Amino acid sequence: MYDSHFNEKPESHYLFVYGTLRKECETGAHKEYLGNADFVSPARIRGQLFMVDYYPGLVLSETEHWAIGEIYLLENESQLHDLDVYEGCAKKSPQPHEYERRVAEVVLSSGETIQAWTYVYQQDTSELEAINSGDFLNRY
């Protein structure tokens, strides 16, 4: 179901971001990694956000929780590779990876659903603070 090869999933040229890659986040990561990507829509995905450090982690689930974010249309495969390096899940990144890139169903603000890449947190969350608002930029 999940495929990490950009060209084998042509419908997944979309990326859902929910943390430091969002355009309103002040880390500068958005400008560096998605500055040339086309913004598509505000969006949400089924799952729970947790504060990992200064950044969040997403755990996908079928619960009532939603994570708030944005959808971008990626420019090319090298952009996706750079994002994998940023998220620490490129092939040469040290193991164990904190995140895994997966394709998941995302709901756009229009209500339309699409398949998009997103970075899913892979570590234990039992000691992490949940972001109950579902919005990293509006946590409280």
The one-letter amino acid at 37: A
pLDDT of residue 17: 98
The pLDDT tens digits for 106-124 are 999 999 999 999 999 999 9
pLDDT of residue 42 exceeding 60, the answer is: yes
The backbone torsions φ and ψ at residue 62, rounded to the nearest 5 degrees and listed phi first, read -105, 30
The pLDDT tens digits for 53-98 are 999 999 999 888 999 999 999 988 788 999 999 999 999 999 999 9
pLDDT of residue 12: 62
The pTM of this model reads 0.90
Among 99, 78, 73, residue whose Cα is nearest residue 88: 99
Assigned CATH topology for domain 6-124: Hypothetical upf0131 protein ytfp (3.10.490)
Share of the chain above pLDDT 90, in %: 82
Question: Average pLDDT of the chain?
Answer: 90
pLDDT of residue 6 exceeding 60, the answer is: no
CB 26 within 8 Å of CB 7: no
Tokens describing residue 70: 């944005």
